[in-house]
Structure 1
Amino acid sequence: MKGYVYYSEKESVRNKAFIDDLTNESRKLGIELNLLVEDEQPDSDADFILFRDRNSERAALYDAAGFRLFNRAEVNRIANDKLRTFELATLLGVPVVPTRKIRSIDEINTYPCVLKTVDGHGGNEVFLCTSALDAASFFNDFHDRKLIVQPFIESGARDVRVFMIGKEVIGAVKRTGNGSFKSNYTLGGSVEKYILSSWQEKDAMTIAKAIKSDYVGIDFLLLPDGRWMLNEIEDPVGARSFYDTCDVAIAGKLIGYIKEKISGE
């Protein structure tokens, strides 16, 4: 069996340790796994492509060419569009942060609110606005992007990222922000292992089943009253926080899942 793991050039350097893990685990299962970067083309006889980029158009090209993608292009498209994520969760009956598209600050009814680019990730294009002046600054910085607005939800800068492989919950981590309302680990937040309740597992599994994902992270805000609300779906999902808190070899689980899926098709 032969496959590829696709990254942008920049992310291939940043994720070298994970790529090495994937390669080693593939070798154990008799799989030849090669790195595919930017405009490099896979061999036509490849059994699969593990797609680790936020480029649904490129993923769609591989889909159309007949390659088996993990995740497929439609998962990438939904996960990297926060408005589509909100619409999906609403249809599924999963609690979700209210989200709407916005074109001008005149459409903001109350402050504080949270403004985001529709396709941003890592918390870098998210801004808490307490006034029209704050909002105007955000609009100025991202005037050429699609934007959404959400109410500010008090969560104590805490959220939970659930890691899913297929329909199985592999584990979860609780992230807490450090001096910010953002909880992202890469922005300096702290992480700890989190044990999901049965109803929380059900919410995560409902989403993964609906989008037919192979490997995603699903982020929920933790509310003070014990409830939670879906915030984002991450594809590709980074596993640094998982490696630091959980004892599951996620690269091995993922490669084993891919082999099982390919062998059964």
Structure 2
Amino acid sequence: MKGYIYYDEEDAVRNHWFIDELIKEGFAKQLDVELLTGDADLPNDAKFVIYRGRDFGKSRQFESDGVIVINRSEVNRIANDKLQTCELAAILGIPSIPTRRLNSSLDVREYPVIIKTADGHGGADVHLCTTEAEVDEVVAHYADRQLLIQPYIEHGSSDVRLYMIGNEVVGAVKRTGVGTFKANVALGGTAERFVPPSPLRKFAVRIAKALKSDYIGVDFIQNKDNVWLLNELEDPVGARSLYETSEVNVAREFMQHICRKIEKTL
């Protein structure tokens, strides 16, 4: 069966190793998979697309073309909108970081606060503000973006990410920031293997089932009262930290999941 892995061109360069692994594991399962990047049209022979971008409109277009999209467009829409993520958590009864829209510094009730873009990823658009002037500066910088405000929660510059393939937790890591409150490995943080407690596993499974997702990351932080709070969802989620801290072959597990999903549609 013919399928494609979609990446934005810049992301495809950074993730070439994982792309090659997916193609290799797909071949072993009689799936003919090729890379598709940028604005390239979806070929007529496509039966499925592993969508590794963040453009909800593009993933929805692929679905309208009649192919199986992995993850489906609704996963992409919710995971790449932090306010939508928090609203989903509320519906599912999962504790999360209190989040609301920010228009100006007049919306800030107490400092310090975290200001972030609704559609950001990788930690680049997350700012810790301690004064009104700092908030005004962030608001001016992101004049064309939706901003969100969250209380600053002391969490030791660390968070945990659970990796979900289908409804199964296939691994988890604890990420710790270096010289920053952000725990993102892409910003220089470190990752170590983490064994998630039962409540976190149940939360992550509940989210995956509600989203009908194929492969996502579910991020939590723990506050000073040891309460776990959902922070963000990641789609597309990377695999580097999991490969470095475990024996899980993410590409193999992911392609096995895709095979099972395709078989159910035949």
Sort the TM-score into its range (normalised by shorter chain). over 0.9
> Is 2:170 the counterpart of 1:170?
yes
**1:186-265 equivalence runs, <5 A:** 186-265=186-265
Question: 2:39 is matched with which residue?
Answer: 39
SS at match of 2:210: helix
Q: Deviation of residue 133 (structure 1)? A: 1.3
Question: 1:128 is matched with which residue?
Answer: 128
The Cα offsets for residues 58-94 of structure 1, whole Å up to 9 and x where unpaired, read as: 0011111111000011100000000000111011110
SS at match of 2:5: strand
Contact 1:158 1:176 in 2 (8 A): yes
Percent identity between the two aligned chains = 47
Contact 2:54 2:80 in 1 (8 A): yes
Question: 2:85 is matched with which residue?
Answer: 85
AA paired with 1:230?
Answer: L
Q: TM-score, normalization: structure 1?
A: 0.98
> Is 2:69 the counterpart of 1:69?
yes
Structure 2: how far apart are the matches of 1:4 and 1:241? 24
The answer for unaligned runs of 5 or more in structure 1 is: none
> Is 2:105 the counterpart of 1:105?
yes
Q: TM-score, normalization: structure 2?
A: 0.98
The Cα offsets for residues 154-190 of structure 1, whole Å up to 9 and x where unpaired, read as: 1111100110011010110000111111000011111
Contact 2:216 2:237 in 1 (8 A): yes
AA paired with 1:159?
Answer: D
Question: 2:24 is matched with which residue?
Answer: 24
Q: Deviation of residue 225 (structure 1)? A: 3.3
Q: Deviation of residue 223 (structure 1)? A: 2.5
The answer for unaligned runs of 5 or more in structure 2 is: none
AA paired with 1:174?
Answer: K
> Is 2:157 the counterpart of 1:157?
yes
Contact 2:42 2:62 in 1 (8 A): no
What's the Cα RMSD here? Answer: 0.9
Q: Deviation of residue 226 (structure 1)? A: 2.7
The Cα offsets for residues 19-59 of structure 1, whole Å up to 9 and x where unpaired, read as: 01111111111111000111212222322100000100100
> Is 2:182 the counterpart of 1:144?
no
Greater Cα offset, 81-90 or 225-234: 225-234
